[in-house]
Amino acid sequence: MLTAITRDVSPAINNCELTFLDRVGIDVARAHQEHRAYERALEEFGARVISLPAEPSMPDSVFVEDVAIVLDEVAVLTNPGAESRRAESPSIAAALAPFREIRRIHDPGTIEGGDVMRIGKTLYVGLSSRTNLAGIAQLSGHIKPFGYDVLPVTVHGCLHLKSGICSLGGELLIANRQWVDLTPFAGFTILDVGPAEPSAANVLVFGNTILMPHGFPQTTSRIAARGRAIRHVDITELRKAEAGVTCSSLIF
């Protein structure tokens, strides 16, 4: 059975970290409604949702994906490149402890889960403003004994690797090639996001169904033409905090 760990929206989300977006006011009540609808969508796909309470002093804490990397054999707590986010780790560790052995990334290594895309036994890890080579090396050391390969990927112009590329299942990827070096993905089929939709590559896959935000009609049509069903969610307010649909859950 799928398990999804989530966390409610912090009332302080308007103080979130921003790197590539200008700050725009976030309607906290609406963001909370969006997040609850997102959790219901995960439940529709068969996930048992473990919803943690909001952290009033941690503006970005709804984005639980960045704080841990959960594999079949182990969970690795990250060391976020945004130092303001490191206080999020203890409660995520406590939530994961019943399910996985816990490993940790330490200084000088930094890594955030939004930079980690798993396809089979390979983890593609973005070299971004939040993730460095020391963090990638530590991650590799933790998971190579379980048979995983780790491949760095250069990211530019967006927050995380999965801001610019995600799997659509099988050998098909959705990508904004302006933001991600596609060299490590030789052998995959790349489906480009719509030309007016640079942020549309962040999606979640549940079998043949793709969960993606409202507001990307060009990319939706391109994905549907490849035989995928589409389930949309509204994350308009959360996107003001540089969010995508992968950010708000740890699914395993």
160 included as an active-site residue: yes
- What are the beta bridge partners of residue 48? 3
Contact criterion met (CB below 8 Å) for 7 and 64: yes
The tally of CA atoms less than 13 A away on the side-chain side of residue 225 is 11
Among 35, 142, 160, 166, the active-site one is: 160
Among 16, 158, 166, 247, the active-site one is: 247
Q: Which residues are catalytic?
A: 160, 247
